[in-house]
Amino acid sequence: MKNTRILLAACLMAAPLMAHADEDKLFIPQWLGAQYTFVDQHQYSLHSPYQSELSLRPQGDTKRSHTFGAYFGVNLPLHLQFYFDVEMFKGEGVSGATGLGGLTNGDVIRSGTAGLPKKPYVARRYLRWSLPLGDETDDVERGQDQLPGKEATHRVDVKVGKMAVSDDFDKNRYANGTRTQFMDWSLFNNTAWDFAADTRGYTDGVMIAWVNPTWTLRYGIYRMPYEANGQKLVSSLGDSNGQQVELTLQPQADGWALRFLAFRNEARMGIYRDAIAAALATGQRPDILADDAPGRHKYGFTVNGELPLADHGDTGLFMRAGWNDGRTESFVFTEVDRSLSGGFQLSGAHWARPDDHLSIAVAIDGLSPEHREYLALGGQGFVLGDGRLNYGREEIVEAYYSYSPIKHLTLSPDIQYIRHPGYNRDRGPARFVALRAHLEI
């Protein structure tokens, strides 16, 4: 409770600065928002002829998670802005947030490793430089990591510091935020995209964007963790890094959008085939960690689309597809080498509740041949490893209803159904129900 009071006190102290200052006045910090998200999730028991410490618990499980966040920004001279965010996570995910490629509570990524303290931490701390390339501007409203004012529609953006890679890449109107939209990891991001991050989901790096009204080109380079799913980042971008480039096409501001992303990671990774060969030669279980070495690479590609249909875009479709080479170990986000997902959002305007919506989506995740052979021989990653494997694609269905009883509060009952959890036909199906409450001011 003490840490919770500290975080709430920071919000209250900043509140008077929120909106009464002139938006063009420099050096006056603004409180851009605060949020609290609570998730109560239950995993039902499932068929489980064998399991390990990384498997979904066969007897079922119930867990609760809490995330708190406060977000700040300030305008500086020379087209500069500075952003500073503080967050805190408490609780945990069902089955220790293991046993699936598409984990079922996106907020548990903020828990980090088991040894990290459950106290406030700095989530983002970065400078943004925005250089106008023309006179045409748009109005932007106050929001998380967005200062209010006017912004050039033709511009160059540069961000330097601590941030989340997914703040700028693989965004989607209908499936982008685990606190208000889909909760499954395979639906709020492309899980085949193994983007750089520590175990809480943040890293240090540089993002450069060339922004235009109908298209945007972005490039980012970020520090990788020293080891798979590790909290410690490498000391410099020269040691290892994750790079991505993304082209966004959106001819009209509220119309359809397509995003094409390519990424390449360099890190201290193991190679599945080498780990398998060593295990067969010694008669031991394969261990990808014993094969890790610096300078290894992983690359991949993703596509991401959204199609507004009606209700000013509140009703629409989305899709994602992703592939990575699957040669080196899954290192950061989760253990997925192939991913395909799509879904639909229906506005509550059709039943006289325009602030509500109903959403349903499916995702199919897969593994490369060498990754599945590694698991079949008893190998383990950082979220997968049943001891054996009868391979099948992980098939996920999620549906939720977003209900807004009052301004700033949403309540979302959520159900998920997963066939072949952990890519294993011998296990499951797995069923989950949850209630999420999200307060944002």
Tens digit of each residue's pLDDT (9 = 90 or more) over 391-435: 999 999 999 999 999 999 999 999 999 999 999 999 999 999 999
CA distance linking residue 411 with residue 401, whole number of Å: 8
* CATH classification number, 30-440, choose in 3.40.640.10, 2.120.10.30, 2.40.160.10, 3.40.50.1010: 2.40.160.10
Name residues whose C-beta falls within 8 Å of residue 315's C-beta, 6 or more positions apart in sequence: 308, 309, 345, 346, 347, 349, 357
Beta strands in 331-441 (DSSP E): 338-347, 357-366, 394-406, 409-419, 430-440
Interval 116-127 mean pLDDT:
93
Q: Residue 64 corresponds to which tokens in the numbers above? A: 């609760």
- In 3D space, the residue among 98, 83, 92 whose CA is nearest the CA of residue 32 turns out to be 83
Span 317-341, average pLDDT: 97
Distance (Å, rounded) from C-alpha 164 to C-alpha 176? 13
User: Hey, what amino acid is at 252?
Assistant: Q
- pLDDT over threshold 70, residue 166: yes
- The two tokens of residue 38 are 């609570």
Q: So what's the pLDDT on residue 114?
A: 64
Which helix or strand (DSSP H or E) is residue 159 part of?
A: strand 155-163
pLDDT of 178 reads 95
Identify the residue with better confidence: 60 or 291. Answer: 60
Predicted confidence (pLDDT) per residue in 37-56, tens digit:
999 999 999 999 999 999 99
Average pLDDT estimate for 47-66: 96
What is the domain partition of the chain in residue ranges? Answer: 30-440
User: What pLDDT is attached to residue 15?
Assistant: 40
Average pLDDT, the chain: 92
Residue 2 banded pLDDT, cuts 50, 70, 90: very low
Indicate the residue type of 322.
G
- For residues 335 and 331, give the distance between their C-alpha atoms in angstroms, rounded to a whole number: 8
Helix/strand/coil for 330: coil
In the prediction, which pLDDT does 367 show? 98
CA distance 80 to 74: 9
Q: How far is CA 297 from CA 277, 330, 367, in A?
A: 19, 11, 17
The widest CA-to-CA distance across the chain, in whole angstroms, is 70
Q: Are strands 121-132 and 80-91 parallel, antiparallel or unpaired?
A: antiparallel
Lowest mean pLDDT among 132-136, 256-260, 337-341, 397-401: 132-136
Q: Are 358 and 401 in contact, with CB atoms under 8 Å apart?
A: yes
* Residue 84: band (very low, low, confident or very high) from pLDDT cuts 50, 70, 90: very high
For position 25, what pLDDT does the model report? 57
Q: How far apart are CA 271 and CA 227, in angstroms?
A: 14
Evaluate if residue 12 carries a pLDDT over 70: no
SS3 of the chain: helix, strand, coil, percent, to 5 = 15, 45, 40
Kindly state the tokens that stand for 360.
Answer: 């349903």
d(C-alpha 82, C-alpha 128), whole Å: 6
20 has pLDDT over 90: no
Q: In terms of DSSP H, where are the helices of 308-353?
A: none
Using omega within 30 degrees of 0 as the cis cutoff, is the peptide bond preceding 429 cis? yes
- State percent of the chain over pLDDT 70: 94
Cα separation values, 5 from 1, 68, 440, Å: 6, 11, 17
CA separation (Å) from 175 to 92, 185, 398?
23, 10, 12
